[in-house]
A and B are shown apart, each in its own frame.
Chain A
Amino acid sequence: MIHCYKLNGYNIVLDVFSGSVHVVDEVAYDAIEMYENQPWNDVKNTLLQKYNDREDVTEQELDELHEDIEQLRSDGKLYTEDIYKNRAFDLKNRSTVIKALCLHVAHTCNLNCEYCFASQGKYHGDRALMTLEVGKRALDFLVENSGKRTNLEVDFFGGEPLMNWDVVKDIVRYGRELEKIQNKKFRFTLTTNGVLLDDDVIDFANKEMHNVVLSLDGRREIHDSLRKTVNGKGSYDMIVPKFQHFIEKRGDRGYYMRGTFTHNNADFTKDVFHMADLGFTELSMEPVVCKPDNPYALTEDDLPIVYEQYEILAKEMLRRNKDGRSFTFYHYMIDLTGGPCIYKRISGCGSGTEYMAVTPWGDLYPCHQFVGDDKYLLGNIWDGVTNLEAQKEFKLCNAYSRDECQDCWAKLYCSGGCAANSYHATGKVTGVYEYGCKLFRKRMECAIMMKIAESAENII
């Protein structure tokens, strides 16, 4: 399978099953696209007619092009056959160890963001804080179920995790002790709205947190329209100086400014650029996840606007790279040579199998977006996974488990997509959230185009 597209002046051909990327001129673009389904003689005749005014499109030239295409085919870089489909289930189930937990240390929040999928931190349940006992047991559970895996990830999440900060610090300290005994390496991350950031938090996080995710939606009026305090006031002025102070002290350690865009700011690049202009360089901006009848839900009419925004963003990032004002955008960070192997590309995020969420009282869910849904209560950190029927749905999730993905060129970039998005959009974990797919494909096209633009000065 191939995928051909034109973007920012480049003619791009992706060979799906080898992962190869080719930049071609318009003649080769037409030839490669047609040759997938037509005999070469038909392709050649069509091209001779179409380009009859071009001196460089002769029979001899096209024969040379044919040789080059066949060379790429024999090198396994074009028209590559799918050798993974029948092995997808086994590739995903090569191991069943758990390697990441999302610890819901606080099911409560000091903001009242309208679009919060966690229902203002409570996940449609009671307010609660995780005790140190539960937190320690969660780390023990992770270690016990991690097999030979060295790197283990623990995200402090909420609600707002800083509302239970002392426990977070003690869990981290416990983790560092465990590392010495168990030969493991914890990578802790913190996701926060910033309201309670102070120097104690900043210094501890800069020492111990592998990554921090800081929530900011961009422009003041956009941020304040949905991210409000419990008194209904905007939170922008309260948090932005704290975030700037945090990042100034963080040095070269990882972080993301993470925003959510909605129907209200389908022109979200203005918010991304605003964050960049505030001095932040590691940026992420996610489409809102909500029911379609919400007034801020993205609509079909927004789609062309959002597509254009992704292109604007990619082009502006290339421009800023050149003039020394570069920033990264999470979804455009694609490493063509050091990216994920085929096992990862087929398996996906590992929700419900390698990755689980832990509630304040120690219950296990497939991921943070399923917390509070009784159907997907998998078990708890003392007894392990006991709802094997629910877990089986997640074991079956892979890049090939959805009929709708069979003809999609992007399936080895998305692995079949987010199970939670699928579930919320279709009622099935193995359903397809088509709107999200459309945005994902556009982001991938932009990301690959940027790599081409960055890697080749003298591209065709």
Chain B
Amino acid sequence: MKRIQTIDTRDLKKSLKNGGCGECQTSCQSACKTSCGVANQQCEKCVSE
């Protein structure tokens, strides 16, 4: 596409089917402890694959 470049991302709709294992890290255990979000968490499955 001439004017649009799409960055490679995880398809959230598809993750309805292949997500939800719950093995990922609990957000607040990592570094923040006070301003939690989930965006910077990694998917445990994706890491192991």
Contacts and interface: CB of A to CB of B under 8 A. Distances in A.
B4 A24 contact: yes
A334 B8 CA distance: 13
B46 A338 contact: yes
21 contacts: A18-B12, A23-B5, A24-B5, A25-B3, A100-B25, A100-B29, A102-B29, A211-B30, A213-B33, A256-B31, A286-B34, A337-B8, A339-B41, A341-B43, A343-B20, A350-B27, A412-B12, A436-B35, A440-B35, A447-B40, A460-B4
A100 B29 CA distance: 8
A296 interface: no
Contact of B39 (A22, A97, A284, A447): A447
A224 interface: no
Interface string A74-97: 001100100100000001001101
Contacts of B26: 99-100, 153, 349-350, 354-355
Q: Which of A333, A417, A452 has the most CB of B within 10 A?
A: A333
Given A344-B24, A350-B27, A440-B35, A19 B10 contact: yes
Contacts of B2: 64-65, 68
Contacts of A271: none
Contacts of A235: none
A105 interface: no
Interface of A: 17-25, 27-28, 64-65, 68-69, 71-72, 76-77, 80, 83, 91, 94-95, 97, 99-100, 102, 117, 149-151, 153, 155, 187, 189, 191, 211, 213, 256, 258, 260, 284, 286-287, 289, 330-345, 348-351, 354-355, 367-369, 412-415, 417-418, 420-421, 436, 439-440, 444, 447, 451-452, 455-456, 459-460
B35 A439 contact: yes
B33 A413 contact: no
Interface of B is mostly: loop
Interface residues of B, number: 43
Contacts of A287: 34-35
A459 B5 contact: yes
B38 A345 contact: yes
Interface of B: 1-13, 15-16, 18-20, 22-44, 46-47
A349 B5 contact: no
A413 B9 CA distance: 13
Given A28-B3, A286-B34, A342-B19, A336 B13 contact: no
Contacts of A345: 12, 38
A256 B29 CA distance: 12
Contact of B12 (A17, A102, A455): A17
A22 B7 contact: yes
Nearest to B16: A342
A459 B3 CA distance: 10
B31 A284 contact: yes
A337 B10 contact: yes
B35 A151 contact: no
A350 B18 CA distance: 20
Contact of B42 (A71, A76, A150, A335): A335
Given A22-B5, A330-B40, 15 more contacts: A18-B9, A18-B13, A20-B9, A68-B3, A91-B20, A151-B44, A191-B33, A286-B32, A287-B35, A339-B42, A344-B24, A348-B36, A415-B38, A418-B28, A440-B35
